[in-house]
Amino acid sequence: MELPKYFGTIHPEEWLKQVKAQCYLKDIEDEQKILKICKLMIDSTITIPNEINTFDELIKALKSHTTFNIFKDSCKVKLH
């Protein structure tokens, strides 16, 4: 199984869980290494600040990007 790339089509917290799970399966447990991998797996059209140093900051940045609002709106449409 490959590391999932983040395109904004999944909830950021769910995506982070998937990346962490893949890292743990490959014996990568250092949080800073996992965070670096996460940053590399974000699609280039989604820009995030370079100053992100924690998973919480990463999730906050991904949720503030317009792709998250599009994702939420599409989920609402599917429910109706």
pTM, whole model, 2 decimals?
A: 0.87
Of 10-24, 36-50, 65-79, which range is least confident?
A: 65-79
> pLDDT band for position 70 (50/70/90)?
confident
Let me know: does 41 contact 19? Beta carbons within 8 Å.
yes
| 42: phi then psi, degrees, rounded to nearest 5 | -90, 130
Structure-block tokens of residue 66 = 């317009």
* pLDDT for the residue 25: 95
Separation CA 11–CA 38 (nearest Å): 14
Separation CA 72–CA 43 (nearest Å): 18
Q: Which DSSP letter does residue 51 get?
A: T
What pLDDT digit, counting tens, does each position of 39-63 carry?
A: 999 999 999 999 999 999 999 999 9
For residue 80, pLDDT beyond 80: no
For residue 72, pLDDT beyond 90: no
